[in-house]
């Protein structure tokens, strides 16, 4: 059962593991990212950074959808972490149904436009989010569970 689909360019970090983890109590965190899935050192670091009571899977977008659709994680509470808005499109293109995503952290980098404190977007990200809005996805900006949710849909069109 998917508890949360979150976009966060830092993937697994304290805010996710402690901030969200202590409220949602996930059984597993899935990092759905083709680049990280191909990088041994990043996988070891992210896996080691997760507390022992939470399982971690680091998968390509394609593997993520395959396993979810195949029922592999049906009995677990899952948090799916994605580094880029376009990864959500990737999941949906392969048949995963998504109605709301948590836009947690897209951090400042040169050339990005500030939308909120934790949401800075470049053109590519804006365009991917626009496409998600077109597909009926609600973009909810929420850094932590107790943060006031802000719907971003109108801010990206």
Partner 1 sequence: MIEQKPAIHTIGIIVTHGDLAEELCRTTELIVGKLTGCYAISGSDFCDEEVIGRIKEIIDQARSSRAIVFVDYFGGSCCINAVRAVRGLKGVKVISGVNLPILLDFITKRDSFEFQEMVDHLINRGKESVRLIEF
Q: How far is the CB of 42 from partner 1 (least distance, A)?
A: 7
Q: Give whichever of 96 and 143 is closer to partner 1, judged by the CB atom.
A: 143
Helix (H, G, I), strand (E, B) or coil at 68: helix
User: Binding partner 1 by CB under 8 A: which of 12, 79, 82, 101?
Assistant: 12
- Tell me the C-alpha distance between 133 and 63, whole Å: 24
Neighbours of 157 (CB within 10 A): 10
Q: b/e per residue, 86-123, with b = 16+ CB within 10 A?
A: bbbbbbbeeebebeebbbbbbeeeeebeebeebbbbee
Stretch that binds partner 1, among 11-19, 73-81, 90-98, 144-152 (CB under 8 A): 11-19
Q: Is 13 in the site for partner 1 (CB under 8 A)?
A: yes
- Tell me the C-alpha distance between 39 and 41, whole Å: 6
Strand-pairing partners, residue 146, are: none
Which residues between 19 and 78 bind partner 1 (CB under 8 A)?
41-42, 45-46, 48-50
Quick note: the x/- pattern for partner 1 over 76-115, rule CB under 8 A, is: -------------------------------xxxx-----
Size of site (CB under 8 A) for partner 1: 16
Site for partner 1, rule CB under 8 A: 9-10, 12-14, 41-42, 45-46, 48-50, 107-110
């Amino acid at each position: 059962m998917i508890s949360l689909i979150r976009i966060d360019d830092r993937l697994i970090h304290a805010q996710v593991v402690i901030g969200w983890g202590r409220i949602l109590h996930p059984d597993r965190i899935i990092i759905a990212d083709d680049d990280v899935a191909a990088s041994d050192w990043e996988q070891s670091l992210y896996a080691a950074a997760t507390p022992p009571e939470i399982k971690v899977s680091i998968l390509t977008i394609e593997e993520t959808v395959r396993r979810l659709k195949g029922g592999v994680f049906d009995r677990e509470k899952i948090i799916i972490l994605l580094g880029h808005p376009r990864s959500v499109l990737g999941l949906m293109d392969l048949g995963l149904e998504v109605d709301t995503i948590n836009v947690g952290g897209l951090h400042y980098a040169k050339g990005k436009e500030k939308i909120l404190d934790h949401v800075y977007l470049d053109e590519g990200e804006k365009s991917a989010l626009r496409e998600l809005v077109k597909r009926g996805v609600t973009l909810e900006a929420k850094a932590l569970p107790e943060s006031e949710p802000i719907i971003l849909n109108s801010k990206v069109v």
